[in-house]
Structure 1
Amino acid sequence: MSDLFLDEVIRPEPQGGGGRRASRRGGREDRERERRRRRRRGVIALVVSFALLIGGGFAVWKLVGPMIDDFRDSRSQPEAEDFAGPGHGSVDVTIESGATGGQMGQVLAEAGVVASQTAFTRAFAANPDAAGIQPGTYRLMLGMPAAEAVGALLDTSNRVQTRVTIPEGLRVTQILDRLSSVTTVPVEEFQTAMADTAATGLPAEAGGNYEGWLFASTYSFEPGTTPTEMIAAMVAETVKVLDERGVAPQDRQRVLTIASLVEREARSAEDKAKVARAIQNRLDIDMKLDIDAAVAYGLNKPGTELTRDDTANSDTPYNLYRYAGLPPTPIASPSLIAIDAVLAPADGPWLFWVTVNLDTGETRFAETFAEHQQNIALLRQWEAEQG
């Protein structure tokens, strides 16, 4: 039994080269295994390459596909509907800030100005100036050719705006009357709006009083602008002017108050700078300002109707014949020239000034009271010559 088992477990190597055959067989198996590994690597590389090719192609298609579709669509779409013109009637349309050509075209097409959004978009793209179209409300004709609609939006004369000019030297009540007459908004609505000083942006240093803070200028208001927005625009302009000149918030009210006096007392820029200096010279020595315009403001009457009794006996804080220092508020909206005159007054020793010709506004300045009396005599002579 032991020999039998030994015979099956340990076989003697056959004679005649059996070892070389085993070696060749092992080599073939090794080469076969290597071929199988190479095939596997080749298949993996092919799969990876194919995946990259598919992925890259997808990315390219994502980029180029829409352009191809647009080109295909533009070739297949019929000519965009457009009006032949010349147009008729009118309609107001509003172009919002930041609107694209397509968005403008949609608004105009819905309003009946152009025949189609596509026609306007193409006309917009064909006009190199179209990017300059400003937001706002425009009055345009109905049934316009798209190219003409683009041109109409570039013409600022088609803007629907309310332009209000506020002259220098007006008081708040006069400004509100002017605003109301031009915008047709009742004065009461402006007064209601002004009660909310936070909404209008009136600075705290104004003490709730708008006098002097409604800047004299020309304003353009779009349709639908509220009374609050109009007042806020005027206050903001005053703040802007003062900030540009470096006026500190705590000095704003004083600058506006002196500038309002200067505005009402002199006409030319040169005279305004001299009056500003004379006022400051008086303030420096606690001398009363004796300004008629302030007395008239306190009495709510025109300066031309002011009497000597008014200046001598009226008891309001604006009677600068009775009280030294500045009035409690500005008395009017000063001009930019008057503000600059206060910030950079002329050099001079003057304490007195008087307008000796009310037609031309000629003003004489004096350092002494005696010289001032001579100038007043010139005024009396002019008045006598007027009959």
Structure 2
Amino acid sequence: MTDLLSEPTVSSGPPRHASGGLSGASPREQKAAKRRKRRRTIVTLLVTLLVVVAAGGGAAFEIRRSGGILFGWATPFAPDDYAGPGTGEVAVEIPDGAGGWDMARVLADAGVVASAEAFVRAFEANPGSGSIQAGSHLLMKEMSAADAVETLTRNEVDRAGLVVPEGFTVAQVTERMIGQGWPQADVEAALADPAALGLPPEAGGNLEGWIYPNTYEAKPDTTSAAQLLTEMVAATVAELTELGVPAEQRQQVLVKASIVEREAPDQFRGQVARVIENRLATSEVLGMDAIESYYAGKPAHEMTRAELADTTSRPFNSRRMDGLPPTAIGSPGRASIEAVLDPPPGPWIYYVTVNLHTQETKFTDRVEEFEVFKDEYQAWAAENGY
């Protein structure tokens, strides 16, 4: 087979000059030589073009595979992403001046997100991403990229000591204190004597809800477990005093606010607080997933129908028992307490967060519309692996 790029063989005729022309050739032979030269040039260009296209196609494939942009053409590839919500805890250090890609690589290396590309897309889609601060952030492994960005935007940064996020339970605070170096025996001994920590009588001897969410400049070698827990309780008492909550109402306010903290997206705290009041004023049970989740010790979306309806293995079931749970279900932040103290007027009895990524939540006082909202959430959950 003839190689299209090889030099054609001339069986007779005069030798070539260095210039590539022919001397002493007839006009017909000169025309034939020129045609051969043009053919070689065209063939060379075609083959070169094929090589470039092949290389470009490979580059385009690589860019498509990473979800990038090639010559202004946005590729449709969806990068690897976890469904979330994640497991365990991992401290991730966000360096000073880090951009989206810098954070993405750190989080991907730590096993927080499935791919840097997925994080960058979520970072660019979240309007609060520009406010993420440098420092040590506590996240979970195998989070969805959107959840990872949302968690970082809360800026619960461990700059000095112990961070207690809003909604944390006593069990979670205990685990974190022990994990950061406070001796387990000291923590458990302090928790066993809540009155010595300054817990007021209206709390009924239960610390749940009375540990103030904040960043505490405390270390195990300078602050004892009892001293730190005393500071946390005192901060809650001080805030309730500042907000003008009478002593006899404080426990109930904290219980309601803890439900709001764990149930409501930020922008819907007031409406959820109003739903709680409306249900308590009628024959409706509270029926809130966050309460069942607290007593079951697992995320609400992982609970089965049987677990949600269980009344034998848990001390309280909001789908079967009237009124508020006997204790708070976590530590509420100030915004949730304020929502409980002054909820907006409204007839709402039901609500459903129909999209866990955007936190879109819909409210109604009609059971038929509530069923429509539930179907909308189920459709979203099926599409997003929940």
What range describes the TM-score normalised by the shorter chain of this pair? Answer: 0.5 to 0.7
Instruction: Note the C-alpha offset of 1:224.
Output: 2.3
Cα distance in 2 for residues equivalent to 1:359 and 1:243: 36
Instruction: Note the C-alpha offset of 1:185.
Output: 0.8
2:255/2:328 contact within 8 Å kept: yes
Question: 2:67 is matched with which residue?
Answer: none
Equivalent of 1:239 in 233, 237, 240: 237
Question: 2:171 is matched with which residue?
Answer: 173
Question: 2:342 is matched with which residue?
Answer: 344
2:167/2:262 contact within 8 Å kept: yes
Question: 1:370 is matched with which residue?
Answer: 368
Runs of 4+ in structure 1 over 4 Å off = none
Work out whether 1:284 is the aligned partner of 2:281. yes
Question: 1:199 is matched with which residue?
Answer: 196
Cα distance in 2 for residues equivalent to 1:186 and 1:378: 47
TM-score, reference length from structure 2: 0.56
Question: 1:300 is matched with which residue?
Answer: 297
3-state DSSP of counterpart to 1:354: strand
Instruction: Note the C-alpha offset of 1:191.
Output: 1.6
Q: Deviations over 1:31-68 (max 9, x none)?
A: xxxxxxxxxxxxxxxxxxxxxxxxxxxxxxxxxxxxxx
Question: 2:28 is matched with which residue?
Answer: none
1:297/1:318 contact within 8 Å kept: no
Cα distance in 2 for residues equivalent to 1:191 and 1:360: 39
Instruction: Note the C-alpha offset of 1:164.
Output: 1.2
User: Which aligned pairs between 1:301-316 and structure 2 lie closer than 5 A?
Assistant: 301-315=298-312, 316=314
Q: Deviations over 1:248-300 (max 9, x none)?
A: 111111000000111111121x3010000011000011310001111122222
2:352/2:373 contact within 8 Å kept: yes
Q: Which moved more, 1:246-255 or 1:216-225?
A: 216-225
Instruction: Note the C-alpha offset of 1:301.
Output: 2.6
Cα distance in 2 for residues equivalent to 1:193 and 1:258: 26
Instruction: Note the C-alpha offset of 1:168.
Output: 0.8
Question: 2:320 is matched with which residue?
Answer: 322
Cα distance in 1 for residues equivalent to 2:379 and 2:331: 32
Give the number of aligned pairs. Answer: 225
Cα distance in 1 for residues equivalent to 2:318 and 2:230: 31
Equivalent of 1:353 in 339, 351, 356: 351
Structure 1 alignment gaps of length 5 or more: 1-160
Equivalent of 2:185 in 184, 188, 212: 188
The one-letter amino acid paired with 2:195 is: A
Q: 1:254 to 1:190 in 2, by over 3 A?
A: same
3-state DSSP of counterpart to 2:217: strand
Instruction: Note the C-alpha offset of 1:162.
Output: 4.5
The one-letter amino acid paired with 1:225 is: T
Cα distance in 1 for residues equivalent to 2:254 and 2:209: 6
3-state DSSP of counterpart to 1:353: strand
Cα distance in 2 for residues equivalent to 1:208 and 1:377: 42
Instruction: Note the C-alpha offset of 1:247.
Output: 0.6
Work out whether 1:257 is the aligned partner of 2:255. yes
Instruction: Note the C-alpha offset of 1:384.
Output: 2.3
2:257/2:336 contact within 8 Å kept: yes
3-state DSSP of counterpart to 1:221: coil
Larger radius of gyration: 1
Q: 1:300 to 1:368 in 2, by over 3 A?
A: same
TM-score, reference length from structure 1: 0.56
* Root-mean-square deviation over aligned CA pairs: 1.5
How high is the sequence identity, in percent, across the aligned residues? 43
The one-letter amino acid paired with 2:179 is: S
Instruction: Note the C-alpha offset of 1:361.
Output: 1.5
2:293/2:300 contact within 8 Å kept: yes
Q: Deviations over 1:293-346 (max 9, x none)?
A: 111222223323211101223333321001010000001111111111000111
1:317/1:323 contact within 8 Å kept: no
The one-letter amino acid paired with 2:212 is: F
Question: 1:107 is matched with which residue?
Answer: none
Cα distance in 2 for residues equivalent to 1:311 and 1:231: 33
